[in-house]
Structure 1
Amino acid sequence: MEPNSHTKLFLEVSALLTGFSKTELKATGMLETYYNTIQKNTDKQDIDYFFLDVHVLLNDKSKKNIEAALASQFMAASAYNGLAKNIIILWYTGNWGNDVVSSASYIQGLMWNAAHTHPPGAKQPGYGSWAERPLTVKNS
């Protein structure tokens, strides 16, 4: 399996692991950065086996529920040295271990979209938005 096919598989498995679409993940602009982050911080053998097994899973037509297969085969902390869990954390927080990957990774973290908010100090809701009543407050 060639390295650039790993990037495609990384995007596909990331979409399954995070619950965000491939388009949403690409729109963060973090795909290449995150792929390079796992390459730099994960044992090559773990990465190779992970992508080989992801490829097999995604191309197995007999698997009806890919998410369940992912959960049972890839989510154990011992599976590929926790790579699947680290990928989820990377996309949601922009962190690898205790390190923030970059200022962009903090801003683009999926946790902000999942919470329907913006990262403090970045991506503010816009000039004058404070003047509008929140949607959850009913007018009397």
Structure 2
Amino acid sequence: MIINTKILNVDDYYYGVFMTISAPLTGFTENELQSTGLAEIYYKHILGKIEKATFIEFLNISKNAIESSQTPDQLSAAISTQILSNPSTKKIAQDVITLWYLGTWEGAYVNDLSYKEGLVWNIMQAHPPGAKQPGFKSWSIKPVNSNS
């Protein structure tokens, strides 16, 4: 698999690794993650919250998993064996997943946008209460999974 080396205006090679590994960790595409408007913010937030060497170790192991995989199934297996089974990278991977889904790092929201754009709302086919309303007359449309 190929690592995106430059996305938007971020020249940092590891940012590309972060985005490439975030996609299979979350089950969303890199474009979907980028569309949250939080990719660069999350990357910089992590760099400011944990020791840089620890984050770089996680990204190097992720890079090896990505580069050694030819198919999504191989990448999934590599993530399971090389990242999620490794005590030094498991917690960071879990924190990255939580960051994308809930917009929180260690229980605190990164910013207002991180709450609004959490991936959890897409999975639930809902909107974040008090932040991003579904729109005028949306109540007149049956929910997608409605049995009624």
Task: Tell me the TM-score normalised to structure 2 length.
Answer: 0.83
| Aligned-partner Cα distance in 2 for 1:18–1:61 | 17
Deviation at 1:131, TM superposition (A): 3.1
Give deviations 1:1-30, integer Å, cap 9, x for gaps: xx7111111110000100000010000000
| Aligned-partner Cα distance in 1 for 2:90–2:49 | 11
**4+ residue runs of structure 1 moved beyond 4 angstroms?**
61-64
Equivalent pairs counted in the alignment come to 136
The verdict on how the C-alpha distance between 1:77 and 1:42 changes in structure 2, with shifts beyond 3 A counting, is: farther
Higher-Rg member (1/2): 1
The corresponding residue for 2:64 is 56
Deviation at 1:121, TM superposition (A): 0.9
Structural RMSD (CA) = 2.0
Q: Secondary structure at the match of 1:74?
A: helix
Task: Tell me the TM-score normalised to structure 1 length.
Answer: 0.87
The corresponding residue for 1:93 is 102
Give deviations 1:52-96, integer Å, cap 9, x for gaps: 111122112578611121022212472236111100000000000
Structure 2 stretches of 5 or more lacking a match?
A: 1-10
Question: Is residue 44 of structure 1 aligned with residue 48 of structure 2?
Answer: no
2:19 maps to a residue whose letter is L
Structure 1 stretches of 5 or more lacking a match?
A: none
Aligned-pair identity in percent equals 34
